[in-house]
Structure 1
Amino acid sequence: MTTPHCLLFDCDGTLVDSEPLLADEMATSLTAVGLPFVAEDYMGEFRGARFMNIVGELQRRHGEVDPERLKASEARMRSRLAERLVSELTLLPGVREALDSLARIPHAVVSNGPETKIRASLEATGLSDYFGDHLFSGYSAQCWKPDPCLYLHAATIMGYEARHCVAIDDAIVGVKAALAAGMTVIHLNRFPDVETTPAGAIAISNMHQLPTVIEHLSRRPTAAAH
């Protein structure tokens, strides 16, 4: 890669520490409708996955739930989560410093979550001005990680070829999606004891390391230079 032209950031677990809140609310909501679930299930097995995919897998294990009951339960869950994001959400360490350091490079958020949730998270943590309207939601694009289509959609709208984009994602589903899209991928692996960075991705353990990695990528010689 030459100098990265565009940086595509996942949101939950990459920019903001929303996953513990989400996992807690999911556990309450899903268990109430007869789908046994604890917060550790999300962090251990389903991190980064689309909500309806999680529901589908739980129904395969525990039995079908009435769709209208599920719909109402999800609405209540998202309402409670929105309230908690406002008062409890925090940035992950090093995020603001990394964004300040890399502000010269065009950047966007690419998330499996709804756009309303992305906006609420950025507003609650003071990141809205960093990204403006460069927000790409699986619900808006109607495609979700680990399918590469969401990252490809974001790159196209931003005006860059996939090979000129760097995706920064903490979840394995997101890392695999960006790799399949043909992007350079940085895996924010905050759980190295239990999670292995997929082949082809660059591992970092915290966002303080991101500017150095981007600088290294910028200096990497191109094939034409050899």
Structure 2
Amino acid sequence: MSRPLCLLFDCDGTLVDSEPLLAEEMAIGLKAVGLPFVAEDYLGEFRGTRFRRIVAELQQRHGAVDPEQLKIMETAMRTNLARRLELELTPIPGAIEALKALADYPSAVVSNGPEAKIRAALKATGLTDYFGARLFSGYTANCWKPEPCLHLHAASIMGFAARDCIAIDDAIVGVRAALEAGMTVIHVNRYPDAELTPEGAIMITNMFQLPAMVANLVSMRETSLYPIRHEP
């Protein structure tokens, strides 16, 4: 029987509404070290991208910043963000309902963020029990989206081939990473008028739609109507 069995969820913007808070703290920190940046830059251009890759791109555009100054800024930014996540963070609408409906599937979180940030976000929004210790961070695996290695690492540890995983992600970098890994990919595209879902991914516009989409994919795979992805 061919069917996707393991669900790999992105965290920021897919499960928890952390991106506005993250964008605001990034803007404060980056401007403090002389790198022009506003919250809209993250939400429009860099959503889902590793922070240090953003810093590298901004330095290429605007000039280098002293590494020690950057290190101090990043530490302060993450401290402030952790405080705000604890006080202000909410789940993405439909995320709790989707996780309850899909509770029979093995699942994990696959995120570019540090593991401590993932844990804090899940705890603040009451989602910890859905995943337990099944958290895969780019910082722990030493590989980040849009490279496929983080998804492949998570699938391997979970005990599944890539073709037997469904990746759920709101950010284009994550969608492309999972596609490159050879997974079935659901793009939670909450901005369909402004953002194009990459070819090969399946678009939904909110998390309330996820359980029905997963059920449909499983049914199609079991009746051989849905093509099975091959690992690269």
TM-score between both structures, scaled by the size of structure 2: 0.95
**Which residue number corresponds to residue 108 of structure 1?**
108
Conserved? CA contact 1:110–1:137, under 8 Å: yes
Structure 1 letter corresponding to 2:138: G
**Which residue number corresponds to residue 224 of structure 2?**
222
Conserved? CA contact 1:2–1:217, under 8 Å: no
CA drift of 1:25 comes to 0.1
Quote the Cα distance in structure 2 between the aligned partners of 1:223 and 1:90: 38
CA drift of 1:223 comes to 6.9
Structure 2 letter corresponding to 1:187: H
Alignment of 1:29-178 (within 5 A): 29-178=29-178
Quote the Cα distance in structure 2 between the aligned partners of 1:123 and 1:115: 12
Deviation sequence 1:76-127 (CA, Å, 0-9, x none)? 0000000000010000111111000000000000000000000000000000
CA drift of 1:194 comes to 1.0
**Which residue number corresponds to residue 5 of structure 2?**
5
Quote the Cα distance in structure 1 between the aligned partners of 2:224 and 2:72: 53
CA drift of 1:5 comes to 1.0
Quote the Cα distance in structure 2 between the aligned partners of 1:166 and 1:191: 21
Quote the Cα distance in structure 2 between the aligned partners of 1:196 and 1:33: 33
Conserved? CA contact 1:2–1:219, under 8 Å: no
Equivalences, count: 224
Structure 2 letter corresponding to 1:106: P
Deviation sequence 1:123-143 (CA, Å, 0-9, x none)? 000000000000000000000
Quote the Cα distance in structure 2 between the aligned partners of 1:161 and 1:107: 14
Quote the Cα distance in structure 2 between the aligned partners of 1:223 and 1:39: 43
Tell me, which stretches of 5 or more residues in structure 2 are unaligned? 227-232
Quote the Cα distance in structure 1 between the aligned partners of 2:164 and 2:183: 7
**Which residue number corresponds to residue 193 of structure 2?**
193
**Which residue number corresponds to residue 26 of structure 1?**
26
Quote the Cα distance in structure 1 between the aligned partners of 2:127 and 2:215: 22
CA drift of 1:2 comes to 3.0
Moved over 6 A (4+): none
Structure 1 letter corresponding to 2:181: A
CA drift of 1:4 comes to 2.0
Deviation sequence 1:1-36 (CA, Å, 0-9, x none)? 933210000000000000000000000000000001
CA drift of 1:182 comes to 0.2
Quote the Cα distance in structure 1 between the aligned partners of 2:5 and 2:205: 23
The 3-state SS of whatever aligns with 1:27 is helix
The 3-state SS of whatever aligns with 1:28 is helix
Quote the Cα distance in structure 2 between the aligned partners of 1:3 and 1:98: 19
